[in-house]
Structure 1
Amino acid sequence: MFRGSPRALRALLTAAVVGLLAAVPAAAADSTVNVTGIEVKSGNLVGLIASTNGSDIDPSLDVTVAGKTYPVDAITSGTGSPVARTTIIVVDTSGSMGTSGMATVRSAVAAFLKSVPDDVRVGVVSFSGKATLDLAPTADQGKVQAAVNDLTADGETALYDGVNLAVRTLGSRGERSILLLSDGGDTASSATQATTVAALKSAKVRAEAVSFKSTDSNVSVLQSFTKAGGGSVVSAANAGSVQNAFTSAAKTLASQLSFSMPLPAGVGGAQNIKIAGKSGGKAFATTALVDFGAGVAASPTKAAADTSPITGPTEDVIKGGAPAATLPVLGVSPILGLGMGAVFVALMAMVIALSSGSFKSGRTKRVENIDRYVAATAAIGKGKSRPNAVSENLVFLGERMMEGRDSTSKTMAHISRADLPLRAGEWWVLRIVAIVVSVATFMVLFHSGVIAMLVAALIGLLVGVFAPAFILKFLSNRRGKKFEAQLPDVLTLVASSLSTGFSLPQALDAVAKDAADPAAKEFSRALAETRIGSDVSDALERMAARMDSENMRWTSMAIRIQREVGGNLAETLRTTAKTLREREELRRHVRALSAEGRLSAYILVALPIGIFLYTMKTNHDYIQLLWTTTLGIIMIVGGIISLGIGMFWMRKVVDVKV
């Protein structure tokens, strides 16, 4: 127990209070200093610091890392800030704003853009019945003003959804802030005030709010946002005060100081750093958690801060080191660039190998033809590498791969019908080349991330596998239809030749000389078969099978019957040609009558696909519910199944056999 006079007791208590105050850290002014955007970039620790009450900050700072203090000089953060700075203007466009309110917003944004630093990227989010990203963050101030000028007031108020959309748009890198103009009321959001406050705290986004009065005013909501985001609420009673509030927000960005220091040697992983200095003559100290990654092995030499502006808040930066290396032109990683180069070299080598024979001169080809039949010359050339050995090896491998497959016969039938000079092995090599080129092309076009590249590779693989077969079938069907269209005229020409006294081979020879392709080439081939001993009827039947022509099968059957039992072949062919013309006329008539149904089918199939792609571009947050929720996945699967059934049903309805 203390024994003494009351005066001595008061003196002792006073000394104790003074001692306690002296023991308080020099962080009493922490609430007036805001440190944002601290990150590791290009071997340096960079960040931004500003005073929230307008006080000047002494540029001399002390940064303590792993128990060691480093003096750092802060500089004015002009257009060369090493930290990406992004702000999004969040505007209430509900019906309560009215025409005059929107005019005030436009003039306030114009004043904001005049004062904001050039390196700050500005975006626009509006909310009425729903939140909308009207403009992604950009350095083009003209686009920002144009986006705000296009806003109109109408509908309900989705304040919480608008703030959440702005937070998601800002990303997770650099110095990020929102400038909110609202009365604090909310009538249509799917989010809540609590989730919105949590989103601001989690993302560490600074929130500045301009409060205007209305029947739904709720300043406490705006205060909760600014408290979570380390900003302030400014009341705006008229248009002038709104403009002043926006200008003040721009000046806050302009007053930020940036600091940069080389990474300390041997420091890695997540570290709590301390930043101390003076603001308005008063000492302050604040802490922040920074991930130094792997750190640096040796003490680096002090270098100037990287003042190149970052293009946006989502730029990929490797923690604890330099930014991800990219090729200056394509903007892809070195590994992908090397892969692309290897694929390009391989494709060029394959093309050169496959086409090496086409570069031979006429003299070389004649000499090689002679060498094939001269044993002595072949013996002399024995052991020498042939110029097209690579292509022959690839084709031989393709022949081995295609041999024994059930699909090979169908493939070769399509190749023959399309009149393509390809063997089975050459077709296999062509498909491999198509797969490689397709995968490489899609990976180059969609190289935004690992998942995107994997999806692009899968899509490229599917395109490379199915596109050549689809194109081959298209070419063969097109040539087959052209042959079918020529057949009535060809039969009429044969009948006329027979009537003048020509024999059937002579009549076929007239077709080969006078008709157009593909009929001329196919009849010439059939005639060539007859000249080496094949029967005319058999040659025509093989042509019908080669062209998959039912009409030609009937024609060859009529010729065979006439040759066996006798009769007037010319009259038979004229009758056949007339029948074919009547069938073609009926088929075209039916196709004209079913044109409306086919067009309706095309529109009904393309409409949901087109709306899906359009909504993906205009309202991605809305459409992504189809693959981010269980109900959405069920709906999209059901929609695809229904679309497939509808396509099959409508095709059967309009497909009339003649």
Structure 2
Amino acid sequence: MSHIALLTLGATLLGCVLVVMGVHAYTSGRAQRAALIDRLSATGPVEGLARRRRFSGVDRRLRGTALGRRLEVKLATTGLDLTPGEFFVSMLGGVAALWLIAASLLADFFGPVAAVIGLWGANAFLNWQRAKRTEKFINQLPELARILANATQAGLALRTAIGLAAEELEAPAGEELSRVTHRLAVGDSLDDALGEMAERLPSRELVVLVTTLVLSSRAGGAIVGSLRNLTVTLEQRKETRREVRTQLSQVTMTAYVIPVIGVGSLLLVDKVMPGALDRMTGSFVGQAAVLVALGMFVVGFALIRRLSKIDV
């Protein structure tokens, strides 16, 4: 009996020792990870370490497909802190919610239609975020050209001037220039690094700036004078774009009001005559009429947006 008690006591002590060792290893690992994040964050944001990523399994499988790779590239241009898996799962959840809401408020026929609109809306949201980030970057281009001109006039090399601008400017210009400096640090050429930035944020102003920097690095010349002239030009284009956007704000709002009026009219009809949408979409003729009407709303929206889009 005493032998069994000694074995039990020894096993208990061994278990306690293992638990203490495991807790110590866990806490020390978390402390080392936190110290690593702090040390890496001191030099810039590190993707994947800022927060715990969700849906890692979906993200891993999605990255292996062509759709996942395209989605990853588009998310990188938007500046959103999302992985392809997170965005894909969120998109599916939103589409399912739109399907249920449309089927419950309108009719069962409008569920798939709302799902298709939700898929289009997700892609439009990414395009809007990309355009918004590009517009913000364009507004920072005059300050970027001014910093590069001052740095090169002070005798700094162009690569050093780009690194200085990355530290001085806020996002998105600071983030994009940081990527350029990182690529230059690993041995990429200035043409490739700046060209990749121009592909991520396509705009005429950025193409002009990149072309000026590349030609100056290749053939030399008065880069300071070119950058100062470019700064004045970019400032003028910035003011012109702002005036054009202000003048077209009413037209842009009209493009978004028209689809809202269409959906509101459907809700009003169903409110005045309960069950009218179910009876209307219960036949092929009614479904075809609804699809034609929705198509006309989409065409009207696209035409108004196209007419209000003026390249400056």
Query: 1:414: which partner in 2?
Result: 74
C-alpha contact 1:541 1:552 (8 A) present in aligned 2: no
AA of the residue aligned to 1:413: V
Q: State the partner residue of 1:640.
A: 294
Residues 513 and 430 of structure 1, relative CA distance in 2, 3 Å threshold: closer
2:146–2:231 contact (8 Å) kept in structure 1: yes
Q: Quick check: 1:483–1:519 contact (8 Å CA) kept in 2? A: yes
Match of 1:363 among 29, 34, 42: 29
How far residue 409 of structure 1 moved from its aligned partner, in angstroms, is: 4.5
Deviation at 1:631, TM superposition (A): 6.1
Q: Offset of 1:471 from its aligned partner?
A: 3.8
> Contact conserved, 2:99 with 2:110, CA < 8 A, in 1?
no
Q: 66, 84, 106: which is aligned to 1:427? A: 84
**Mapping of residues 616-655 of structure 1, within 5 Å:** 616-620=270-274, 626-628=280-282, 632-633=286-287, 635-655=289-309
Question: Pick from 92, 96, 110: which aligns with 1:439?
Answer: 96
- Whether 1:612 and 2:266 are equivalent positions in the alignment is yes
Q: Which residue of 1 aligns with 2:216?
A: 562
Within 2, Cα distance between the matches of 1:510 and 1:639? 55
Counterparts of 2:298 and 2:113, CA distance in 1: 20
1:435 and 1:460 in contact (8 A); partners too? no
Q: Deviations over 1:227-278 (max 9, x none)?
A: xxxxxxxxxxxxxxxxxxxxxxxxxxxxxxxxxxxxxxxxxxxxxxxxxxxx
Q: Kindly indicate whether residue 178 of structure 2 is the aligned counterpart of residue 524 of structure 1.
A: yes
SS in structure 2 at match of 1:475 = helix
User: Residue deviations 1:579-634, cap 9 Å, x none?
Assistant: 22222322232233333433444444433332222222233366666435676555
User: For 1:550-576, what per-residue CA distance to the aligned partner results, in whole angstroms no more than 9, with x for missing partners?
Assistant: 322221211121223322111111222
Q: Structure 1-normalised TM-score?
A: 0.36
Among 153, 156, 160, the alignment partner of 1:502 is 156
Shift in alpha-carbon separation, 1:459–1:435, aligned structure 2, 3 A:
farther
For 2:119 and 2:260, how far apart are their aligned partners in 1?
A: 24
CA change 1:525–1:362 in 2 (3 A) is farther
Q: How does 1:442-457 map to 2 (within 5 A)?
A: none
Q: TM-score, normalised by structure 2?
A: 0.69
> Which secondary structure does the structure 1 equivalent of 2:281 belong to?
helix
Q: List runs of 5+ in structure 1 lacking aligned partners.
A: 1-359, 371-387
- Aligned partner of 1:548 in structure 2 is 202
The number of residue pairs the alignment matches comes to 269
Amino acid at match of 2:217: R
* Higher strand residue share: 1
Show structure 1 runs of 4+ deviating over 6 A: 445-448
CA contact (8 A) 2:212 2:226 kept: yes
1:481 to partner: Cα distance:
1.9
Greater displacement, 427-436 / 560-569: 427-436
Aligned partner (choices 590, 594, 599) of residue 248 of structure 2: 594
Give CA-to-partner distance per residue, 1:40-84, whole Å, 9 cap, x none.
Answer: xxxxxxxxxxxxxxxxxxxxxxxxxxxxxxxxxxxxxxxxxxxxx
Q: Which moved more, 1:434-443 or 1:606-615?
A: 434-443
Distance 1:607 1:471, change over 3 A: closer
Please state whether the residue corresponding to 1:656 is helix, strand or coil: coil
Shift of 1:486: 0.8
Distance in 1 of aligned mates of 2:56 and 2:301: 45
- Matched residues in 2 for 1:537 and 1:581: separation? 25
CA distance, structure 2, for counterparts of residue 628 and residue 530 of structure 1:
63
Distance 1:365 1:474, change over 3 A: farther
In structure 2, relative to structure 1, the CA distance for the partners of 1:396 and 1:482 (3 Å cut) is same
Shift of 1:432: 3.7
Alpha-carbon distance in structure 2 between the residues aligned to 1:646 and 1:411: 28
Q: Residues of 1 paired with 2:63 and 2:69: CA distance?
A: 13
1:513 shift after superposition: 1.6
1:297-333 residue CA offsets vs partner (Å, 9 max, x unmatched): xxxxxxxxxxxxxxxxxxxxxxxxxxxxxxxxxxxxx
1:399 equivalent in structure 2 = 63
Residue equivalent to 1:212: none
Q: Who wins on radius of gyration, i.e. which is larger?
A: 1
Contact 2:102 2:114 in 1 (8 A): no
**Which amino acid in the other structure matches residue 363 of structure 1?**
G
- The aligned runs of 1:80-159 (5 Å cut-off) are none
Q: 1:566/1:482 Cα in 2 relative to 1: closer, same or farther (>3 Å)? A: same
Shift of 1:495: 0.9
Provide the rounded CA distance (Å) in 2 between the counterparts of 1:460 and 1:641.
13
The secondary structure found in structure 2 opposite 1:620 is coil
**RMSD across aligned C-alpha pairs, in angstroms?**
3.8
Distance apart, 1:491 and its partner CA: 0.8
8 A contact 1:495–1:569 mirrored in 2:
yes
Q: Which residue of 482, 493, 510 maps to 2:147?
A: 493
- More helix by proportion, 1 or 2? 2
DSSP-derived class of the 1:522 partner: helix
Note if contact 2:68-2:84 (Cα within 8 Å) is conserved in structure 1: no
Q: Distance in 1 between matches of 2:215 and 2:183?
A: 20
Change (3 A) 1:362 1:653: farther
Q: Distance in 2 between matches of 1:447 and 1:564?
A: 62
Distance between the aligned counterparts of 1:573 and 1:413, measured in 2?
30
Counterparts of 1:440 and 1:600, CA distance in 2: 27
In the alignment, the residues of structure 2 paired with residue 498 and residue 650 of structure 1 have an alpha-carbon distance, to the nearest angstrom, of 45
Aligned AA for 1:572?
S
Q: Once the 2 structures are TM-superposed, how far is the Cα of residue 467 of structure 1 from its aligned partner? A: 5.4
Q: Which amino acid aligns with 1:418?
A: T
Equivalent residues in 2 for 1:366-377 (5 A)? Answer: 366=32
Counterpart-to-counterpart distance in 2, 1:469 and 1:361: 42
